[in-house]
Chain A
Amino acid sequence: METIKDKVAIIGMGCCKFGENWDKSADDMIIDAVYEAYEDAGLTREDIQAAWVGTAFSGIGGISIAAPLKLDRIPITRVENFCATGMETIRNASYAIACGAYNIVLCVGFEKLKDTGLAGLPAGYTHPVLGINVTAPGRWAMGATRYFQAYGIEPQEGRKTLAQISVKSHYNGARHPKAHLRREITIEQVLNAPLIAWPLGLFDCCGNTDGAAAAILTRADMAKSFRNDYVLIKGIGLAIGPGLGKEDASYDYIHLPETEAAAQQAYEQAGITDPRKELDILELHDCFTISELMTLEAIGICPKGKAKEDIDAGTFTLTGELPVNADGGLKSFGHPVGASGLRECYEVYKQIQGKAELPERQLKDVRLGLSHNQGGHPGSLLPIITILGQAG
């Protein structure tokens, strides 16, 4: 089996301002993100040979981007993989590039959630009996409850650790001009906020947001003709299981086995053996603070049951040993479902290039980064992990 390592390059990316974009349609946001990517890559619409679009709720079919962008008579595929929809566009496009079918392709992810009038995500199809009364925060909260119980952490103490994740992300997001929520918060604010699904409170949950992001991919051997600071795909892992953690009595609710497998795939392709040492930045899918904590253990950054120690010690802050969600993560950007996976790559891409907009946000010597996108919840997870690396 061949590895995807160093076969595909990202030569342009774009990301619209995330937020409650009442004055923008999905088409407007798609245009903002894609034209930024065109400009970044130095390309135009006519150069695009094929495209992948990811949206979970806001459109169907390839025409959802062809119409606003006026892409004409090229292959376009809509992909969907729950909340991992965004990065799924990059994964599919990468293999199309790697096999030589196309030289230049476009990836677009978008979601227009704020027009639904709902406080949470639309439900989609649910089983009329078994699928009701479940929410995304509730599903993740069940992981938090068991995690605290399993490791003997008093719930209030555990909530403080989760609060630190939120405080860190808000600090970072306050410094990113494209973030939805741009304000610093305190531990007290997090702990005193209304409870959404015990033990998760309001600030443990990401927001519902509108947004779009885009990437332009090419063959690694052609990338230099576009720019010197292109970014290489080093590995992509996607691991989906039967998702029977709710039914399986042996599932412990404190591990994320699918994420462990996806990380393993990505590390093997990228040749990473010591992720904590080798990676310079992590973009983790922090739909809920507990997800960030559990993922840190699942991808081998912290030993099992030890993420709390690192979080409490500030390991993952902007100035810490290994910055996590330097852009503020889902906590600050919100979660426009189809866009998030691309936004998670956008931050690593920009940090590797040294173009993190504000100097105070720019990390030093970022060569290798990990972007993690996921759908589902403990026991039924769809994680995608992409490793991005500096050219050369």
Chain B
Amino acid sequence: MKTGIVSYGAYIPIYRLKRDEIARAWDRGSMGGEKAVANYDEDSATMAVEAMIDCLRDSDRQSVDGLYFASTTPPYREKQSASLIALAADLRRQIFTADFTDSLRAGTVALRAALDAVKSGSGKRVMVAAADCRLGQPQSDSEQNFGDGAAALLIGDEGVACEIEGSYSHADDILDIWRTETDTFTKSWEDRFILSEGYVRNTREAISSIMEKYRLTPPDITRAVFYAPDQRRHSEMARAMGFDPKTQVQEPMFATVGNTGAAFALMMLVAALEESRAGDRILFANYGDGGDAFILRVTEEIEKIRERRGIKRHLASRSTLPNYEKYLRFRRLIPTEAQAREQANAFPPVAWREREQLISFHGSRCKRCGLTFHPMQRVCIYCGAKDEYEGVRLSDRQGTLYTYTVDNLALSSDPPTIVSKVHLQEDVEGGGENHKVGVYCLMTDRNPEKVKPDMPVEMTFRKMHDSGGMHTYYWKCRPPREP
């Protein structure tokens, strides 16, 4: 039985920052190109949700048996993120969830674990979602190099679009890049050492070992997809391993996205899959505290999962951050004046009690009159029926902006606040065209000057605030991420 990738998805935040802009701020050289920057209300968890929803676009969310979340920047040091991501993606409750963290290799470690879970029969379909939002020290090369993004791979043994034919792993211990408990920014030892003894040695070892193990030579590989810390090392590795950079090597997106950490290799793999055809053989390798490598073979099923935003369409849907200061504000790297208003409160009991409507973004559909509304109500707002409702997912419905305001008074890390009344589409059971589902929410990823009544919108999972030292999540609307 074939085991491998059943579906893929990806996410790249809408904002891009030109590296020249970072260089300008620090009076130093620019690496050129731009990097993807998570909005102020995004983190690795929200980006993972986006990638997963992209991946599950035409799948039954209930069919997922497990979720492995991979990131070096999970929102909490203690408290699982996969459980939150599963709830937001509306997966079922009886699944196995785990966070794979601390290593740049976390994405492929999770992939291998998912593969093993499916092979062992402990789950039919296991989701791997990798996302990272790493901070390079201001003024450092890392600051220019790092980007934000996410990828999701659904691993299973039915409808396999890309079989994983073989894998190889080794562990290595080296202090090349690290963060201690109190570090906000990544630290690294001197370049010559960490590259030659870290990245280069381990990646070569992983690639040559798997090629040897499966008796392959470079001409057998249609596409080589592998992690590299930067563009130069990526090109050097391609040459050293005997791959033709023009025809065989997956473009690593340094100029457009940047190094997205634990999600980076998986995002490149998604980009490769988008262009792949049945029969293609892919070499996939990752680095971080050792090496992972996989041999993949694309099947005819790949044609059935083309409807994804993936890498290509997310790349094309972009908005330029006007300046470096805005990036600093998004990442809260500048202390700002406390505003003379009460902080929003975070109440764990409220968030927990209302998790179905706040995180899974269910509305209640009245079983008597059939109409749906949000937030969920025990007494129907249309017909008055009491306690006769069922939760229905609203997060994947398209909508229009019924009315809005551009509020300069409301607290925000990225003012102004666009407060929106959205009309989401209703399905046939709920009245179809004759009825809408009203949702009152904020708008994100928007240009305030382009917001107009009746414009199309879609929903996106975001962070509302961090007050009380807790992350509070909910859904916002945004202009559709279509180029």
Best-surrounded residue of A123, A133, A199 (most CB of chain B within 10 A): A133
Q: Which of A133-152 contact B (CB under 8 A)?
A: 133-135, 137-139, 141-146, 149
* Partner of B346 from A128, A143, A200, A246 at Cβ < 8 Å: A128
> Is A244 an interface residue when CB atoms closer than 8 A count as contact?
yes
Could you tell me if B381 and A247 are in contact, using CB atoms closer than 8 angstroms? yes
> Is B67 an interface residue when CB atoms closer than 8 A count as contact?
no
Residues of B within 8 A of A198 (CB): 405-407, 416, 448
CB distance from A57 to the nearest CB of B (A): 12
State the CA gap A16–B67 with chains docked (Å).
65
Name the CB-closest residue of B to A122: B342
Could you tell me if B453 and A248 are in contact, using CB atoms closer than 8 angstroms? no
Best-surrounded residue of A135, A144, A251 (most CB of chain B within 10 A): A135
Could you tell me if A134 and B474 are in contact, using CB atoms closer than 8 angstroms? no
Q: Which of these binds chain B: A95-103, A113-121, A174-182, A347-355?
A: A113-121
Q: Count the A-B residue pairs with Cβ separation under 8 angstroms: how many?
A: 133
Query: Would you give the 0/1 interface string for B391-411, flagging 1 where the beta carbon is closer than 8 Å to chain A?
Result: 000000000001111111111
> Is B358 an interface residue when CB atoms closer than 8 A count as contact?
yes
Q: Which of B445-483 contact A (CB under 8 A)?
A: 448, 453-454, 464-465, 472, 474
Name the CB-closest residue of B to A140: B405
Could you tell me if A253 and B419 are in contact, using CB atoms closer than 8 angstroms? no
* Partner of B410 from A135, A200, A246 at Cβ < 8 Å: A135
Could you tell me if B465 and A196 are in contact, using CB atoms closer than 8 angstroms? no
Name the CB-closest residue of A to B441: A130
Best-surrounded residue of A126, A128, A137 (most CB of chain B within 10 A): A128
Could you tell me if B344 and A138 are in contact, using CB atoms closer than 8 angstroms? no
Residues of B within 8 A of A249 (CB): 373, 402, 423, 435-438
* Partner of B409 from A127, A137, A251 at Cβ < 8 Å: A137
Tell me how many residues of A have a C-beta within 8 Å of chain B: 41
> Is B318 an interface residue when CB atoms closer than 8 A count as contact?
no
Could you tell me if A135 and B407 are in contact, using CB atoms closer than 8 angstroms? yes
* Partner of B381 from A130, A134, A248 at Cβ < 8 Å: A248
Residues of B within 8 A of A117 (CB): 340
Tell me how many residues of B have a C-beta within 8 Å of chain A: 47
CB distance from A115 to the nearest CB of B (A): 13
Query: Would you give the 0/1 interface string for B355-384, flagging 1 where the beta carbon is closer than 8 Å to chain A?
Result: 000100000000000000111010001100
Residues of A within 8 A of B409 (CB): 119-120, 135, 137-138, 196-197
* Partner of B408 from A128, A195, A250 at Cβ < 8 Å: A195
Residues of A within 8 A of B417 (CB): 133, 138
Could you tell me if B344 and A132 are in contact, using CB atoms closer than 8 angstroms? yes
Could you tell me if A145 and B405 are in contact, using CB atoms closer than 8 angstroms? yes
> Is A194 an interface residue when CB atoms closer than 8 A count as contact?
yes
| Given A132-B464, A196-B409: A126 touches B344 (CB 8 Å cut-off) | yes
State the CA gap A249–B354 with chains docked (Å).
21
Name the CB-closest residue of B to A242: B381
* Partner of B374 from A120, A138, A145, A247 at Cβ < 8 Å: A247
State the CA gap A126–B346 with chains docked (Å).
10
Query: Would you give the 0/1 interface string for B411-442, flagging 1 where the beta carbon is closer than 8 Å to chain A?
Result: 11000110101010000000000011111101
> Is A358 an interface residue when CB atoms closer than 8 A count as contact?
no
Could you tell me if A123 and B342 are in contact, using CB atoms closer than 8 angstroms? yes
Could you tell me if A128 and B350 are in contact, using CB atoms closer than 8 angstroms? yes
State the CA gap A120–B435 with chains docked (Å).
36
State the CA gap A161–B474 with chains docked (Å).
37
Could you tell me if A197 and B341 are in contact, using CB atoms closer than 8 angstroms? no
CB distance from B432 to the nearest CB of A (A): 13
State the CA gap A253–B422 with chains docked (Å).
12
Residues of B within 8 A of A132 (CB): 344, 411, 464-465
State the CA gap A135–B410 with chains docked (Å).
6
Could you tell me if B340 and A118 are in contact, using CB atoms closer than 8 angstroms? yes
| Given A122-B342, A132-B344: A247 touches B375 (CB 8 Å cut-off) | yes
State the CA gap A134–B410 with chains docked (Å).
6
Could you tell me if A253 and B402 are in contact, using CB atoms closer than 8 angstroms? yes
> Is B98 an interface residue when CB atoms closer than 8 A count as contact?
no
State the CA gap A128–B402 with chains docked (Å).
24
Residues of B within 8 A of A67 (CB): none
Residues of A within 8 A of B411 (CB): 132-133
Residues of A within 8 A of B214 (CB): none
State the CA gap A144–B404 with chains docked (Å).
9
Could you tell me if B407 and A129 are in contact, using CB atoms closer than 8 angstroms? no
| Given A196-B408, A197-B408: A142 touches B340 (CB 8 Å cut-off) | no
* Partner of B454 from A129, A149, A250 at Cβ < 8 Å: A149
Name the CB-closest residue of A to B403: A146
Could you tell me if A246 and B342 are in contact, using CB atoms closer than 8 angstroms? no
CB distance from A243 to the nearest CB of B (A): 10
Query: Would you give the 0/1 interface string for A10-22, flagging 1 where the beta carbon is closer than 8 Å to chain B?
Result: 0000000000000
> Is B117 an interface residue when CB atoms closer than 8 A count as contact?
no
Could you tell me if A253 and B421 are in contact, using CB atoms closer than 8 angstroms? yes
Could you tell me if A129 and B340 are in contact, using CB atoms closer than 8 angstroms? no
27 CB contacts below 8 A, A to B, read A118-B340, A118-B341, A120-B409, A128-B344, A129-B354, A129-B472, A133-B442, A134-B410, A134-B419, A137-B407, A138-B419, A139-B419, A146-B402, A194-B408, A198-B405, A198-B406, A199-B405, A242-B381, A244-B373, A244-B377, A244-B381, A246-B438, A247-B438, A248-B381, A249-B435, A253-B403, A253-B421
Which A-B residue pairs are the 8 nearest by beta carbons? A141-B405, A198-B406, A146-B403, A138-B407, A246-B440, A249-B438, A249-B436, A149-B453
